Each structure stands twice: as structure tokens, then as C-alpha cells.
Amino acid sequence: MLNLLRMDLHRMPRSMAFKVIAILLVFETTLTAFTFSYMLNHTSDIMEMPASFGFVDGKLTLGMFVQMTLGQLGDFALYLAIFVVLFANGDFSTGFIKTIAGQVKSRGMLAISKFISVAIYTIGYIAFYTVIAIVDCIIFFDGVRVPDMGELIKYMLLMLYMYIAMIFLITAIALIFRSNLIGIIVGILISTGLLSAILGLVNILLDKLNIDLDLKKYTVTRSITSVTLTGDLSDYTRQIIVCAVYIVVSLIATIISYNKRDVA
């Protein structure tokens, strides 16, 4: 198992997608910080806009910047989703999986290695994003504010946990169907909010049938976007449970798929 994980982690940074996604993340974060800076310097209502965007004395509150970017999914989640799909299915396109599959006791170990690898990548991705965000705030503003480090750490840990749940779901779908296309489509639906829009239409239909059920409450998208900097952990019990279910089901479904089907 450790050898599998070591090989996956060794191959991950060597892929072209790894480097491209890192460049895109730097570009997106920097562009967003520049946009906020431009708005600060050119807004017509200088008193109202800074309060809503977290500006105080020319400094940008880091927590607000994170919540407006990472906490709203969009491109930041899409880049992550695209990479993990390409990485997860990379073995099938190169034929590497055929060599390794015969050397492990259980094919499910191949899936577990992939999930651990993408979890580690997600942690690194969010850590790298945070560093870039801090640097950009220092460059484009008078500095960065962190009024409550405890709240920020709690928020970032919740984001990390929920992002891992999202990535596990996307990875599971990509591995089970063995399709980059399907995995990327699912990643787009989740990260851009299209899935929530579709479920919104389903909710309208359910309401017309007198069925009181909001499906969006049980999506990883709603779980991520509903977290705030000032919320208490008890406020997010449902979201934490929902994400735990996604993690467990994704693992179990993928392991079963690997054990029952030929991986070659």
C-alpha cells in the first residue's frame, strides 16, 4: 500500500496538468485580488463597498477573500476537479495499471491509494492558494488582516474537509466510469453551480407534487457555500454528515468497482 501511494505521489507533480493547474491558480487568485483592488480604488460609494468586501484601512480581511473565492467554488474548485480526474484516470491511458494490478493483494488498494493521493493534493492545493492569497493581498492592498485567527482556522478546516468530500465524489465517478469526460462534466456541474440549478428545478417539481424535500441541502455544493466565517460548528452538523456520507460511499463504491471488474 505504501509503495502504491509513493508511486502515485511521485508521478503526480511530474504531470503537465499539475503544472498547468498551479499556473492557473496563481493567475486566477492574482486576477481576483487585482479586481478587488480596482473596485476599492474606483468605486463610487467608497464607504459601503469596503465594509461588504472586508476592507479596513486599506487592508483586505483574509477570511473574506477566502470566503468570496474558495467558499463560492467557481474556477478555484473547477481547476482542482479537472486535475484529480486527469490524475485518477491517468493509469488507464498509459497502461501502468495493468502492470501494478497483478502485484497487489486487493485491487481495492489501487483505489484507496488514489483517494489518499487526491486528498493530499487537495490539502496542498488549498495551502498553496492560501499562500498566494496572502501574497496578493500584500501586493495589491496595504496589507492583510486576520482579526480572528481561530475563526479563520476553523473555516479553512471545514472548507478542506468539504472540498475533500467533493473531490472524492468526482474521483469516484471518474474511476467507476473510467472516463475523463464524465468526470470533468460532473466536476463542472458541481463547481459551477449548474447542479444546484438543476436540483432547483427538481425541487419545483417536488413542490408541485406536495413533496417537502429540498435536495440541494444534501449536496456538497450547498455544504461548501453555506459555511460562513462566523458560524458555529453546531450550525453545520448536517453539512458535516452529508460530506461524511459522500466520502464513505465514494470509497466503498470505487473499491467494489475495482474488485469486481478488470482494471486493465
Task: Transcribe 8-74 into DSSP letters.
Answer: HHHHGGGSHHHHHHHHHHHHHHHHHHHHHHHHHHH-S-TTHHHHHHTEETTEEEHHHHHHHHGGG-T
Which one-letter amino acid corresponds to residue 219?
T
Q: Quick check: 109 pLDDT over 60?
A: yes
Confidence (pTM): 0.88
Domain boundaries, the chain: 2-260
List, for residues 123-181, the tens digit of each pLDDT value: 999 999 999 999 988 888 877 888 788 888 999 999 999 999 999 999 999 988 888 89
Contact 82, 184 (CB under 8 A): yes
